[in-house]
Amino acid sequence: MKNPLDLFAADVRAARIRRNLTQRQLAYYLHMSVRTIIEIERCKSSPRFETVATIARELNISIDAAVFQNIQTDGISKSVVVLFSGKSEEEIQKYILLCQQADTFTSEN
């Protein structure tokens, strides 16, 4: 099992890149130093919870997915939680709609 901060660091980097942000831009938006973002992404720091929460909120990252990686939440499997971590509510709803349409199509045939 990886350290939760390692998983969080990977999620931060992936989400930042997905949003086409540089480390400098992300730091600017969050009123943090660039060094803070670099050290978090490289797992070279143990950030305060407030820092983790601020970054997670800005990048729409699930802290639960990193911290509670082996726990099922409310009957939802880990794979579903991981699939949707870092996704916006709009992206999640599009995926759900697509699954519902596929289910309807499958049921009709």
Q: What is the CATH number of the domain that holds 10?
A: 1.10.260.40
pTM of the full predicted structure?
A: 0.61
Number of domains in the chain: 1
pLDDT of res. 74: 59
Whole-Å CA distances, 10 to 16, 43, 56, 90, 105? 10, 9, 12, 23, 37
Better-predicted residue by pLDDT, 89 or 106: 89
Over 60: is that where the pLDDT of 1 sits? no
Condensed to tens digits (0 to 9), the pLDDT of residues 13-26 reads 999 999 999 999 99
Domain holding 60, by residue range, is 4-108
Q: What is the mean pLDDT of residues 40-53?
A: 90
Confidence of residue 31 (pLDDT cuts 50, 70, 90): very high
